């Protein structure tokens, strides 16, 4: 992809996702993530119904008229996107790959954060930390993050989310909203890493999947290839028992993963390359 094609793709992505952010996520993002606390805003005249404990006695004595302190939620938040850049993201049997879905999800989350004046940063993870872009505010920074993701070529093919989670914990001491966007095809004990991270941060898991991972099409003997390990295996996709075993294996692994998320208090959404991921994100935000 040359520079001109890259700019055009970023421009189309911005138009699409900013529209979604404005019309669909207008209040969902704001209400889903709480600020760090309440901060003093102003003093105003007492009104019937105000709590007695909010009265500012110094100002009341000075003006001989009851005044109360007004507090507002501190809204400035930091959002970190921990994104899986391993080779399994190149897979896709629909109009988009997992990587395409990941990119659009990143854009929606980033522009939602931008509309709320929050900082956004990104961590690219394969089986090691590939790239870290610290959180900043502003449209220019968001476009930079998206451009870097599109053009990025990871050094490694595998996945080890624990390495990324550990790096994140070491670099972010203050409470941060942490989206982990991955297909979670990872042999490391990442659930423990998510659990530890969730003690200090607001962790949300976004699970990427593709229909062909559980619906094997009838194509005779086909060779299945693991993009991360390079392993291959042949299966007879015309055999109904093979297809059913293929689907059952995938669903059992996924259900175990989702139960692990729930047991450890981690909110999640399953995003499918063949479905409308916006519905899943909206439901995730509304349920928080």
Q: Where are the domains of the chain?
A: 3-30+76-286, 38-73
CB contact set of 88 (below 8 Å; sequence gap of 6+): 98, 159, 183, 185, 227, 228
| pLDDT for residue 223 is more than 90 | no
pLDDT at 90: 84
| H-state helical runs in the chain | 3-23, 28-32, 57-63, 98-115, 139-151, 161-171, 190-198, 240-263, 277-286
Q: What is the end-to-end Cα distance of the chain in Å, rounded?
A: 39
Task: List beta partners, residue 109.
Answer: none
- Bigger pLDDT: 217 vs 210: 210
Average pLDDT, integer, range 72-91: 84
Contact 141, 120 (CB under 8 A): yes
| pLDDT for residue 75 is more than 70 | no
Alpha-carbon distance values, 46 to 71, 143, 216 (Å): 14, 46, 67
pLDDT at 114: 87
This prediction has a pTM of: 0.79
- Tally of residues, the chain: 288
Radius of gyration of the chain (CA): 23
Structure-block tokens of residue 73: 């939620």
Question: Any idea which architecture 3-30+76-286 has in CATH?
Answer: 3-Layer(aba) Sandwich (3.40)
pLDDT confidence tier of residue 76, bands split at 50, 70 and 90? confident
Q: Which of 44-48, 119-123, 201-205 has the lowest mean pLDDT?
A: 44-48
């Amino acid at each position: 992809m040359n520079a001109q094609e890259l700019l055009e793709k970023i421009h189309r992505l911005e138009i699409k996702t900013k529209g979604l952010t404005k019309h669909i996520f207008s209040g969902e993002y704001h209400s889903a993530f709480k600020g760090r606390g309440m901060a003093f805003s102003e003093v105003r005249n007492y009104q019937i119904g105000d709590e007695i404990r909010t009265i500012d006695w110094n100002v009341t004595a000075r003006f001989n008229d009851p005044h109360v302190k007004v507090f507002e939620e501190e809204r400035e938040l930091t959002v970190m996107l921990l994104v899986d850049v391993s080779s399994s993201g190149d897979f896709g049997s629909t109009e988009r790959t997992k990587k395409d879905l990941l990119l659009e999800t990143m854009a929606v989350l980033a522009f939602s954060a931008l509309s709320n004046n929050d900082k956004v940063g990104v961590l690219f993870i394969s089986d090691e930390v590939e790239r870290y872009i610290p959180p900043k505010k502003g449209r220019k920074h968001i476009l930079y993050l998206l451009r870097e993701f599109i053009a990025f070529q990871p050094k490694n093919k595998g996945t080890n989310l624990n390495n990324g989670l550990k790096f994140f914990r070491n670099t972010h001491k203050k409470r941060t909203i942490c989206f982990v966007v991955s297909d979670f095809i990872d042999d490391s004990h990442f659930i423990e890493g998510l659990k530890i991270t969730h003690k200090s941060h607001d962790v949300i898991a976004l699970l990427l999947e593709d229909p062909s991972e559980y619906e094997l099409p009838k194509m005779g003997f086909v060779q299945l290839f693991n993009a991360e390990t390079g392993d291959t295996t042949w299966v007879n996709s015309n055999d109904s028992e093979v297809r059913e075993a293929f689907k059952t294996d995938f669903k059992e692994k996924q259900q175990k993963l989702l139960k692990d998320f729930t047991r450890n208090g981690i909110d999640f959404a399953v995003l499918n390359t063949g479905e409308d991921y916006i519905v899943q994100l909206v439901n995730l935000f509304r349920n928080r």
